[in-house]
Structure 1
Amino acid sequence: MSHSYVEIFQQPKQPNQQKISTSDRALAYGDGLFTTAKIAEGKVLKLSAHIERLLNGVQRLAIDVELSGLEQRLAELAKDYPLAVLKVLISAGEGGRGYSRLGCTKGKVIISIHEFPIHYNTWHQQGINLGLAKTMLGVNPLLAGIKHLNRLEQVLVRQELDKREEDDLLVSNCLGHIIEASAGNVFWLTKQQASLAASGEKSTWLTPNLSMSGVDGLARQYLIHQLNKSDKYSVEIVEQKELAMSDVNSMLVCNSVLGIAPVNKFAGSALSLAPVHQLQKEFTL
Structure 2
Amino acid sequence: MSHSYVEIFQQPKKQNRQKISTSDRALAYGDGLFTTAKIAEGKVLNLSAHIERLLNGVQRLVIDVELSGLEQRLAELAKDYPLAVLKVLISAGEGGRGYSRLGCTQGKVIISIHEFPVHYNTWHQQGINLGLAKTALGVNPLLAGIKHLNRLEQVLVRQELDEREEDDLLVSNCLGHIIEASAGNVFWLTKQQASLATSDEKSTWLTPNLSMSGVDGLARQYLIQQLKKSDKYSVEIVEQKELVMSDINSMLVCNSVLGIAPVHKFAGSALSLAPVHKLQKEFTL
- Measure how far apart 1:19 and its partner are: 2.5
In structure 2, the CA distance between the partners of 1:13 and 1:263, relative to structure 1 (3 Å rule), is: closer
Distance in 2 between the 1:271 and 1:12 partners?
Answer: 40
Distance in 2 between the 1:68 and 1:231 partners?
Answer: 39
TM-score, reference length from structure 1: 0.95
Distance in 2 between the 1:42 and 1:236 partners?
Answer: 35
8 Å Cα contact 1:3-1:115 kept in structure 2: no
Distance in 2 between the 1:244 and 1:197 partners?
Answer: 21
8 Å Cα contact 1:8-1:108 kept in structure 2: no
For residue 194 of structure 2, give the secondary structure of its aligned residue in structure 1: helix
Q: In the TM superposition, what whole-angstrom CA distance separates every residue of 1:139-169 from its partner, at most 9, and x where no partner exists?
A: 0000000000000000000000000000000
In structure 2, the CA distance between the partners of 1:13 and 1:78, relative to structure 1 (3 Å rule), is: closer
Distance in 2 between the 1:269 and 1:14 partners?
Answer: 45
Distance in 2 between the 1:8 and 1:206 partners?
Answer: 38
- Measure how far apart 1:243 and its partner are: 0.1
8 Å Cα contact 1:9-1:110 kept in structure 2: no
Q: In the TM superposition, what whole-angstrom CA distance separates every residue of 1:2-45 from its partner, at most 9, and x where no partner exists?
A: 99997069999999993211000000000000000000000000
Distance in 1 between the 2:15 and 2:196 partners?
Answer: 62
- Measure how far apart 1:50 and its partner are: 0.0
In structure 2, the CA distance between the partners of 1:95 and 1:17, relative to structure 1 (3 Å rule), is: farther
- The count of aligned residue pairs is 285
For residue 12 of structure 1, give the secondary structure of its aligned residue in structure 2: coil
For residue 28 of structure 2, give the secondary structure of its aligned residue in structure 1: helix
Q: What RMSD over aligned residues (CA atoms) do the two structures have, in Å?
A: 5.0
In structure 2, the CA distance between the partners of 1:47 and 1:157, relative to structure 1 (3 Å rule), is: same
What's the counterpart of residue 278 of structure 2?
A: 278
In structure 2, the CA distance between the partners of 1:5 and 1:109, relative to structure 1 (3 Å rule), is: closer
Distance in 1 between the 2:12 and 2:273 partners?
Answer: 50
8 Å Cα contact 2:31-2:91 kept in structure 1: yes
In structure 2, the CA distance between the partners of 1:23 and 1:109, relative to structure 1 (3 Å rule), is: same
TM-score, reference length from structure 2: 0.95
Distance in 2 between the 1:80 and 1:258 partners?
Answer: 21
In structure 2, the CA distance between the partners of 1:154 and 1:13, relative to structure 1 (3 Å rule), is: closer
Identity of paired residues, percent?
94
In structure 2, the CA distance between the partners of 1:113 and 1:17, relative to structure 1 (3 Å rule), is: closer
8 Å Cα contact 1:6-1:113 kept in structure 2: no
- Measure how far apart 1:268 and its partner are: 0.3
- Farther-moved stretch of structure 1 (80-89 vs 8-17): 8-17
8 Å Cα contact 2:7-2:16 kept in structure 1: no
In structure 2, the CA distance between the partners of 1:17 and 1:94, relative to structure 1 (3 Å rule), is: farther
Gaps of 5+ in 1: none
Q: In the TM superposition, what whole-angstrom CA distance separates every residue of 1:41-71 from its partner, at most 9, and x where no partner exists?
A: 0000000000000000000000000000000
Residue 17 (structure 1) aligned with residue 20 (structure 2)? no
Gaps of 5+ in 2: none
8 Å Cα contact 1:9-1:109 kept in structure 2: no
